[in-house]
Every structure is written in C-alpha cells, then in structure tokens.
Amino acid sequence: MKSKAVRIYGVNDLRLDEFELPDIKDDEILASVVSDSICMSSHKLAMQGDAHKRVWHKPLSQNPAIIGHEFCGNILKVGAKWKGRYTEGAKYAVQPSVNIPDEKGLIQLWSPGYSYPYLGGDATYVIFPNTLIEMGCILDYSGNTYFMAGLAEPVSCVLAAFHGQYHTIKDTHRHDMGIVPGGATAILGGAGPMGLAATDFAIHNARKPGLLVITDINQPRLQRAESLQPPSHAGEQGVNLQYINPTGMTGPEQIARLKALNGGRPFDDVFVFYPDASLVGIADALLAHDGCLNFFAGPVDKDFSASFNFYGVHYNEHHLAGTSGGNTEDMRESLQMIQAGILHPEFMVSHIGGLNTVADTTINLDKIPGGKKLIYTQKNLPLIAIEDFGKQGTSFYDSLADICSTNNNLWCKEAEDYLLAHAPDI
C-alpha cells in the first residue's frame, strides 16, 4: 500500500513524500490516519532536526521520520498476534508518550511523530510496530468524531500537569498530588490553545480551584479565551475566573496585581505556559507557603535558565515541577471526559487544512496566529482560519461557514462530516 506523509529530513526540511509501505508483520497493525493537529513540539522538532531528543535513526537526511503525534483514524489490518485485541474498521486514538526500552532495557524517548519511518500523524496510512502496541500506544475510541480523539492527546498533557502538582502532607514525607482544592491557581501566558484546555479542565475537573487567574499579553487571544470560557460560566462551577493582560506592567506590578485578586495573598499553584525567564521569576514570587510552580512550557534552548528563590524552597516549602506529555491513564481520562461532553477541546481549534499544508504550517507555526491547526490528512486543502471560511467565495467554504456559525463558530462533528464527504483528496 502506498502512503503519503510529511517527513523530516533535517532542520526545517519537511517534505510531502509518497512511498510504499511494507507488508505488516504478524505483530504489527496497519491503520489509516484521518486527522492530526499540529503541535508546537513538532515545530521544535523542525527547528532542531537531528539534535531533537526524540529522534532515533540518525541522521534524518538518510532516515526520515514521519512527523505528527496528535492523530486518530481507523484500524485497517491487524496482525495475527493482535487479532483478539484489536478490530479491523474500529476507530483508534494514540498515546504517543510511552516509555520505549532499547535492546539494553534502557528507557528511550522514541515516539510516533519523531522517531519512526512508517508511523506519525501527518500521513495517510501508517504501521504501528509491535513494541509500541505492547506499550499501549493504541487506545480504543468510540466517539462519533475523529478530531476529538486527536485532540485528546494535548488535553492529556494538561491533565498530567494538574495531576503532577504536589503539596506537603503535614508531619509526613508524602505528597498530596494535584492542585489545592478551593485554592488559588494562576496560569501565566495561558490564553493559547493549551491554556484554553487548562482553563477548561480547571473549571470542570472535580479538584478545582476557588480562584483561577489567566494572564496573557496577546489581547485578541485573551478576549477569545474569555468569550469561550466566560467568568459567568466558571462562577456556576464554583470558580472565580479572572483574565488579566499585564502589558505595560513591571514584574513587581504584575505580582501585586495578581495577589490583589487573591485578597493580597500569594497563590497555591502557578503554571507557566510560555518559556520566558521573567515569567518564571514572577511565578516564583507568586508562590504561597507550600506552593507549587509547574513549568509547562518546553523551551527550545537547551541552556534556558531562570531565577528561582531557594530561600523559599528551604523555608517556605516551595516546589517546582515540570511536565511534558500525559501517561496512558491521563490519555484515557482525557478521552472519557471528552466523550462525556465535560471537556471541549474544539475550543483549541482555529484553522483547518489538508496534508499539503503541513510542512509550511509546522515550520511557521510560531508565526501563525490563533489556536490549533487541525489537519485532515487524506485531504488537499489550504490552511484557512474558521473565521475566514465565509471569505473564500466558494460553496464548499460557505457551507462550512454556515455549519460552524450554528456552533458558536467552532469546529464540530457536522463540519467534519461535511469536509470528509466533500473536500478533495490528497
């Protein structure tokens, strides 16, 4: 079977290739990919090439890997070993953050979207190798959309961040995992797509804060976040939600403004969603006694560093966490909450495109405004913002605009169904 896929050959060298997939082995699975959302991590891969920590078969110039890891599709052919476990024709979701042991038993960071010649989200057809299947990479999914299953992966990263927070259980050497229930939480740089997911989870999770403050210096993005997750709705869930644009404020002014929202008190949990050293310093200064700072934003620069007050670590029991990717339980929880309608990852999506747009979009992702760029890998489409559908002057985009307008201008099942039925194939 032939597959089309975007593969990385080196720094900012992404190519849309067509190639023959080998016949699957008895312990492998052949699958189609229907949708993939482009992650900033793939942009970082493009920037780093062989230097990226998840690249396996180096050099990429001789061993290109398929990019993309937030994907879903249908299982097409199941090898004999897995016949009793997986069903041909069934939908699947992917847990890419699995721990892969090498031949010496050492855990490696190899994963779909970075490391494999025949497995990644930006492809039409892929092969899951036995090792990944054994590690639980393929998850059952029974939802009625494809894109929701793909977005469950970035949502699971947010769940991992919240579950990874920790606080002291007094007079013990154990930790209470998660944010402080009813406490004060701040998400700095939190109006981007991952910040939207974090706000959604914070409001609707059983362990929710009493005060949730979102900051961002991008005013249009902050306004969109507030329109999608209004403080009035959060209040109905028992959360005092505040949006703040700190543009023009000094660091001390930002700290004072945020503490004022908490009655002059510091915060129990602070998340940093943008890799900026000054933002880390502000987060540190916001921490209450036994407070936890989660550096969620993964920097590209391996020498990235920031100031952290170790007096506070010693005397005020300040904690520092860094999370990247969710585990399988986070992914399952994400899928369950999405399928139950508790979480709304469609808030994250701002653009729709086809496989033909992936290379340029991934390389320039940091320059393209908006949220998640959702790709339908079997289709040939330009990358268009949902808000611009009605400006394209075609019946296809007019129909999509009409569908989305009935859904608060958000991507939805009806829009996906229409696209899959009417968009040109790649």
Within this chain, do residues 127 and 236 fall inside the same structural domain, yes or no? Answer: no
Within this chain, do residues 395 and 353 fall inside the same structural domain, yes or no? Answer: yes
In a domain, 425, yes or no: no
Work out the angle between the directed axes of helices 193-204 and 147-164 (0-180°, nearest 10): 70
Q: Compute how many other C-beta atoms are within 10 angstroms of the C-beta atom of residue 259.
A: 19
Work out the angle between the directed axes of helices 193-204 and 219-228 (0-180°, nearest 10): 30
In this structure, the strands spanning 384-385 and 372-376 are unpaired
Within this chain, do residues 114 and 231 fall inside the same structural domain, yes or no? Answer: no
Q: Compute how many other C-beta atoms are within 10 angstroms of the C-beta atom of residue 103.
A: 5
Choose one of 321, 340, 364: the last residue of a domain.
321
Which helix (H) or strand (E) element contains residue 332? helix 328-339
Q: Compute how many other C-beta atoms are within 10 angstroms of the C-beta atom of residue 237.
A: 13
Within this chain, do residues 332 and 265 fall inside the same structural domain, yes or no? Answer: no
Give the pLDDT of residue 103: 77
In a domain, 316, yes or no: yes
Residue 277, domain CATH: 3.40.50.720
Q: What is the rounded average pLDDT of the residues 227-247?
A: 97
Within this chain, do residues 309 and 169 fall inside the same structural domain, yes or no? Answer: yes
Q: What is the rounded average pLDDT of the residues 227-248?
A: 97
Taking 90 as the threshold, does the pLDDT of residue 219 lie above it?
yes
More confident residue, 297 or 125: 125
Percentage of the chain exceeding pLDDT 70: 100
Residue pair 209/202 in contact by the 8 Å Cβ criterion: yes
Within this chain, do residues 208 and 352 fall inside the same structural domain, yes or no? Answer: no
Within this chain, do residues 100 and 170 fall inside the same structural domain, yes or no? Answer: no
In a domain, 167, yes or no: yes
Within this chain, do residues 269 and 332 fall inside the same structural domain, yes or no? Answer: no
Give the 3-state secondary structure of residue 117.
coil
Residue pair 351/366 in contact by the 8 Å Cβ criterion: no
Taking 80 as the threshold, does the pLDDT of residue 222 lie above it?
yes
Residue 89, domain CATH: 3.90.180.10
In a domain, 412, yes or no: no
Q: What is the rounded average pLDDT of the residues 20-26?
A: 97
Question: What does the block give as tokens for 227?
Answer: 């329109």
Give the pLDDT of residue 418: 98
Condensed to tens digits (0 to 9), the pLDDT of residues 240-252 reads: 999 999 999 999 9
pTM over 0.75: yes
Question: What does the block give as tokens for 291?
Answer: 């407070």
Q: Please state the domain count of the chain.
A: 2
In a domain, 113, yes or no: yes
Percentage of the chain exceeding pLDDT 90: 93
Domain region containing 259: 155-321
Q: Is 269 exposed, middle or buried (0-12, 13-18, 19+ CB in 10 A)?
A: buried
Q: Compute how many other C-beta atoms are within 10 angstroms of the C-beta atom of residue 340.
A: 8
In a domain, 72, yes or no: yes
Within this chain, do residues 177 and 71 fall inside the same structural domain, yes or no? Answer: no
Which helix (H) or strand (E) element contains residue 41? helix 40-48
Taking 80 as the threshold, does the pLDDT of residue 102 lie above it?
no
Within this chain, do residues 70 and 190 fall inside the same structural domain, yes or no? Answer: no
Taking 90 as the threshold, does the pLDDT of residue 98 lie above it?
no
Condensed to tens digits (0 to 9), the pLDDT of residues 145-193 reads: 999 999 999 999 999 999 999 999 999 999 999 999 999 999 999 999 9
Within this chain, do residues 58 and 84 fall inside the same structural domain, yes or no? Answer: yes
